[in-house]
Amino acid sequence: MSQGIREDEEFRETEKENTEGALEKERQRAVELFQERVKSGRALNVAFIGASGCGKSSFCNSVMTAFCVEGWRERATIGHYGGLAEQVTHHLMSYPKIEYLDFDALYDYNYPTLVDLNGFNDSSDDLVEELLRIVFFGRLPQEEKLIDAVKLHRSKGIDGLREHYSKNYELLKIDRIIFIASATSPLPHRLMEAVRKTARKEDRVIPIFGVLTHKDKINENDEDFRTLEKDFREGLGLPDNRFLLCTTYCDDYDKHHGKSRLDQRHPELDIPILKFMRQVCDPVFKVIKDQVKYKNEKEEPDPDSSTQAEPERPAPARLGAAQGGIPATTRMMIRGAVVAVLVYFLLPFLTNGLDVSRVCAELCPGTQCTRSLQSLCAGQSGLWKVVVTLLFAGAIIGLDLMLDKLEQSGRN
């Protein structure tokens, strides 16, 4: 091998190492920025939704790989159309940080819980929208099949479906939606419409993000792709910061680049995903009316909408003007005023009773009085106490009964 060829190879090798080093440095910076974004608050529940074959599970795995230290692992099973894998992804599968993070120090950050869901056809009808509502409100149990809900709908209808899932706890109430489609396939317009309507027409409005996969297979300047991207973004209402065109860890990428994701990670794939997920997990994005419940139950909202909700409890009665009742402060003021009036009018009676008792004590010290006078004084000394006690107690009881009646009539 000539000296010139060896020098060219060494130069290319050095250039490659420099490039890889620069990419790894950029990746580390992207990781740090993401961690800054999730160091406070709570772990969000992020739903991945898309039609079969769009690269949804591959994207889910790629997100977890970008978050991890070691590299790629197949945590979300990738479908192969008809085999066991496809059946698995027809269940709701969730991946909290304790299941995918591979370094203990990362647990200090609020990495999101990723919810991988498949089984939706490209359709938009009452059933699809209700299934999406069940998922978005966290009423579909972990690893449950969507087909079970479909079968229930066939036998009991929409009302029966709602009644059944309204009894479940809110274990995975969705905070963010990432709709995933392929840049090389026709868009599932009807499913996109169902997701957009369900996420926005309810009182509880959830932020939507969008991902087009298979970037490595398209020409970004191609007119057909530009049209597809425009339709995708307009269909979901996506600005630049909530849209990502990316390549994921997959067989095709390995074959194209002559690498294996089993042996190494690809910073060029991680960096755009980390930047995108930093936007997804940004706490400034708020779920509008986050405490609204599935089927509009009237439970009192918990102070913190955590990812693992406790069993719902009935809301305590509130005495506010909006409910037509008497505010607690007003009730206290009325009771205080009545007590003051009672004391004012009963005070002379109390004084008279005390004077009688004092006179009896002076006239009948010890056993010097006659039996009849002793009986009279004893009756006088105890009478005022009984009368005052009964009057005071009767007044307070009557006041409470009157306030309760007024409150009930105000509510009605």
Q: Where are the domains of the chain?
A: 12-296, 321-411
What confidence score (pLDDT) does residue 101 get? 94
Q: How confident is the prediction along the chain (412 residues), in pLDDT tens digits per residue?
A: 566 666 566 656 666 667 778 999 999 999 999 999 999 889 999 999 998 888 888 999 999 999 998 888 888 877 544 443 444 446 788 999 999 998 899 999 999 999 987 767 777 788 889 999 999 999 988 777 788 888 899 999 999 999 999 988 888 899 999 999 999 999 999 999 999 999 987 678 999 999 999 999 999 999 999 999 999 999 999 999 999 999 999 888 887 777 778 877 889 999 999 999 999 999 999 899 888 888 755 444 444 444 444 344 344 343 333 344 556 566 666 766 666 666 566 556 555 555 555 555 555 555 555 555 555 555 554 555 566 666 666 766 776 677 666 655 554 4
DSSP 365: -
What confidence score (pLDDT) does residue 332 get? 60
Torsion of CA 182, 186, 191, 192, to 10 degrees: 70
The tokens for 182 are 């392929």
Spacing of C-alpha 397 from chain mean position: 45
Strand partners, 213: 182
Q: Cα Rg for the chain, rounded, in angstroms? A: 36
Number of Cβ within a 10 Å radius of residue 235: 19
One CATH from 2.20.25.10, 3.40.190.10, 3.40.50.300, 2.40.50.140 for 12-296: 3.40.50.300
Q: Which amino acid is at 95?
A: Y
List the one residue out of 60, 31, 34, 35 whose CA is nearest residue 47: 60
What confidence score (pLDDT) does residue 322 get? 38
List the one residue out of 97, 96, 110 whose CA is nearest residue 41: 110
